[in-house]
Structure 1
Amino acid sequence: MNRLVKGKKVMITGASSGIGQYLAIHVARQGGVPILIARSGERLHIISEKIEETFGVSCYWYKADLSNDAEWKDVIDRICYEHGSLDALINNAGMAVFDLVSEAKWQDIDRMLSVNVKSLFRATHQLLPHFLQQGNGHIVNIASQAGKMATPKSAVYAATKHAVIGFTNGLRMEVEKDGIFVTSVNLGPVRTNFFQQADPSGNYEKAVDRFMLDPNHVALKIVDSLFTKQREINLPVWMDSGSKVYSLAPVLMEKAMGRQFNKK
């Protein structure tokens, strides 16, 4: 139980399912106030009501399409106006479409860049002045092990997560003197509906099924680290070890793991 969460307002994007939904539950369970954002207002309404009924805390929700920058900016402005200062931002929203670059549709590439990168930059850029003014806050960016080790058919997705990791590392150094924590969460495959869009064939999901992370466990790990100085959360540990080896010997790893890399 993280006692630092109690009474804190925590904004969570991509909160209508998967890790985002569990993040909301664990924030509320530990006495925090979740502020939920996703495209599905109906789902958010149900989750918010259930959280308030179960944990006796306020839970707010806002419908927004994070791929629409103007809409997302307006929603963030509204949240800031209605809630004043926030205490934490968890940039959890993300999407993927796994394809060879030569076969990818531009609209899929553009949407991945908009949701995974631009919307994360937008939320951080708008909320950072509030954190700086109050002298505290925590920004958590959900990246991926793909941001450390790209594979075929995930070139664009991996590039977006490379961007998130780079942004997170630079930002951390900029604001650590101001009392603001910045954490990147680098995950392997998680058992969510993410792959329904990323790989509709289901082949990749079947190939990595035994390695998949539990979204409830991931969310608890993140919430337990809120308002503490945590540079990175890397799950699973063995995959993070592989990423480290890859950074030292990429040619060797690509030859040794080529068959596994091509399972998408």
Structure 2
Amino acid sequence: MDFKNKTVLITGGCSGIGKIMGRKSLERGCSKLIMWDINEVGLLQTKEEFSKIGGEISTFKVDISNPDEIKITAQRVRTEVGTVDVLINNAGIVVGKYFHEHTHDQIEKSMHINANAPMHIALEFLPDMIRQNLGAVCNIASSAGLISNPKMSVYAASKWAVIGWGDSVRLEMEQLKKNVSVMTIMPFFINTGMFDGVKSKVLPILEPEKTSERIITAIEKETKMLAMPLPYWFIRLSQGILPIPVFDWVMKNVFGIYDTMKEFTGRK
């Protein structure tokens, strides 16, 4: 998918990798950038900052945990901006605590934003992509959707859901012979503030700029699945051939993954 002269919509677009991917989309020549976020001040600041790059920039304050707001805002996008060519489902939240310490509201919010919202948003824009036989849907999941981890149970559940749903839609587009690519991105922790306090024994905490570049490149190349830094095949192969106690031992003692959230504080 070539970004030149395309309309790109990014959720969580005024901070973290969402903001960086928006900038990179403009730098690659997208004609219209649409940013969704719940942070209205951040949206205005980002729009002003990006105005120097070029391209038409539209911002929409929306709480994507609310399906009604998604539907209303999507209709505004179609009316005020037009058809979306590239959708990047990026917005997400994390509650870093043991499962039994969660409240019902925290569970609901996490699942609504991380798992349900990407489906509701795609449902609004995918039909137009199918009709024009052109488009791309990029879902930012997480390596937590591949490997279980203490203090990430609900977050992991939401990301497992995104991986299963997104890759199923990819297969549907192929079965229907539509020129609509659907890709799933599964990064390790990214240094954006969302996972402040996380400690990694072996695997590097990913840098936002490089990670954003890899994601945008993956969209251009229509990569089906991208896990980083550990490749998707390595994780799945290890899970498939190692007995669970051995796999757990490797994840805990070799990679240190099971202890990464011990000092988690998150974004203030």
Normalised to the residue count of structure 1, the TM-score between the two structures is 0.90
Specify the alignment match of 2:57 in structure 1: 59
Residues 196-235 of structure 1 aligned to structure 2 (within 5 Å): 202=197, 205-207=198-200, 211-235=204-228
Amino acid aligned to 1:258: K
CA distances 1:110-166 after superposition (whole Å, capped 9, x unpaired): 111000011111001111111111111000000111111111111111111110000
Amino acid aligned to 2:127: P
Cα distance between partner residues in 2 of 1:210 and 1:263 = 10
- Report if aligned partners of 1:181, 1:228 keep a CA contact under 8 Å in 2: no
- Report if aligned partners of 2:189, 2:195 keep a CA contact under 8 Å in 1: no
Aligned residue for 1:5, secondary structure, equals coil
Specify the alignment match of 1:241 in structure 2: 234
CA distances 1:158-200 after superposition (whole Å, capped 9, x unpaired): 111110000011100101211100000010000012125xxxx
- Report if aligned partners of 2:10, 2:18 keep a CA contact under 8 Å in 1: yes
Question: Are 1:79 and 2:77 counterparts?
Answer: yes
Aligned residue for 1:111, secondary structure, equals helix
Amino acid aligned to 2:40: G
Q: 1:69–1:171: structure 2 CA closer, same or farther, 3 Å change rule?
A: same
Residues 159-170 of structure 1 aligned to structure 2 (within 5 Å): 159-170=157-168
Specify the alignment match of 1:139 in structure 2: 137
Cα distance between partner residues in 1 of 2:9 and 2:213 = 16
Aligned residue for 2:87, secondary structure, equals strand
- Percent identity between matched residues is 28
Specify the alignment match of 1:155 in structure 2: 153
Question: Are 1:193 and 2:190 counterparts?
Answer: no
- Report if aligned partners of 2:183, 2:219 keep a CA contact under 8 Å in 1: no
- Deviation of 1:226 (Å): 2.5
Specify the alignment match of 2:265 in structure 1: none
Q: 1:238–1:88: structure 2 CA closer, same or farther, 3 Å change rule?
A: closer
- Deviation of 1:227 (Å): 4.5
Which protein has the bigger helix share? 1
Cα distance between partner residues in 2 of 1:6 and 1:65 = 29
- Report if aligned partners of 1:137, 1:227 keep a CA contact under 8 Å in 2: no
Cα distance between partner residues in 2 of 1:154 and 1:128 = 30
Cα distance between partner residues in 1 of 2:41 and 2:259 = 37
CA distances 1:212-257 after superposition (whole Å, capped 9, x unpaired): 1111111111222334331012111368734541343233111233
- Aligned partner of 1:262 among 249, 259, 262: 259
- Report if aligned partners of 2:226, 2:232 keep a CA contact under 8 Å in 1: no
Amino acid aligned to 1:147: G
Amino acid aligned to 1:232: M
- Report if aligned partners of 2:9, 2:88 keep a CA contact under 8 Å in 1: yes
Amino acid aligned to 1:80: R
Specify the alignment match of 2:42 in structure 1: 43
Amino acid aligned to 2:179: G
Specify the alignment match of 1:199 in structure 2: none
Cα distance between partner residues in 1 of 2:220 and 2:132 = 14
- Report if aligned partners of 1:181, 1:227 keep a CA contact under 8 Å in 2: no
- Report if aligned partners of 1:188, 1:239 keep a CA contact under 8 Å in 2: no
CA distances 1:5-37 after superposition (whole Å, capped 9, x unpaired): 111001000111111000001001111122101
Larger CA deviation: 132-141 vs 149-158: 149-158
Larger CA deviation: 235-244 vs 61-70: 235-244
Runs (4 or more) in structure 1 with deviation over 6 Å come to none
Specify the alignment match of 2:112 in structure 1: 114
Amino acid aligned to 2:83: S
Q: 1:29–1:262: structure 2 CA closer, same or farther, 3 Å change rule?
A: same
- For structure 1, which runs of at least 5 residues remain unmatched after alignment? 197-201
